[in-house]
Amino acid sequence: MSVTLEHPPGRRCRDISTIALTATGSPVPVHGRLTGPEGAPTILVLGGISSGRNVADTANDNGWWRQQAGPGKPIDTNRHRILSFDFIGADIHPFPTTQDQARAILALADAADIRDLAIVGSSYGGMIGLALAELAPERVRELVVISAADRSSEMAKAWRSIQRDTVEMALRLGDGKAGLDLARRLAMTTYRTPDEFEARFADPDPDSRDAGGVATYLAARGEAWADTVDPQRFLALSRSMDEHRVEVGGLKCRVTYIAALEDRLVPADQIADAAKRTPRSRLITLSSVFGHDAFLKEDAIIGATLDEIFGS
Half-sphere exposure of 7 (CA within 13 A, CB side): 16
Burial class (CB in 10 A: 0-12, 13-18, 19+), 243: middle
Q: Which of 123, 152, 238, 281 is catalytic?
A: 123
Nearest of 243, 18, 27 to residue 131 by alpha carbon: 243
CA angle (53, 51, 221) in 5-degree steps: 145
Question: Is 263 designated active site?
Answer: yes
Half-sphere exposure of 162 (CA within 13 A, CB side): 13
Nearest of 61, 32, 60 to residue 46 by alpha carbon: 32
CB 85 within 8 A of CB 108: yes
Q: Which of 263, 281, 288, 293 is catalytic?
A: 263
Burial class (CB in 10 A: 0-12, 13-18, 19+), 18: buried
Nearest of 31, 41, 44, 34 to residue 12 by alpha carbon: 34
Q: Which of 31, 80, 244, 292 is catalytic?
A: 292
Question: Is 292 designated active site?
Answer: yes
Q: Which residues are catalytic?
A: 123, 263, 292
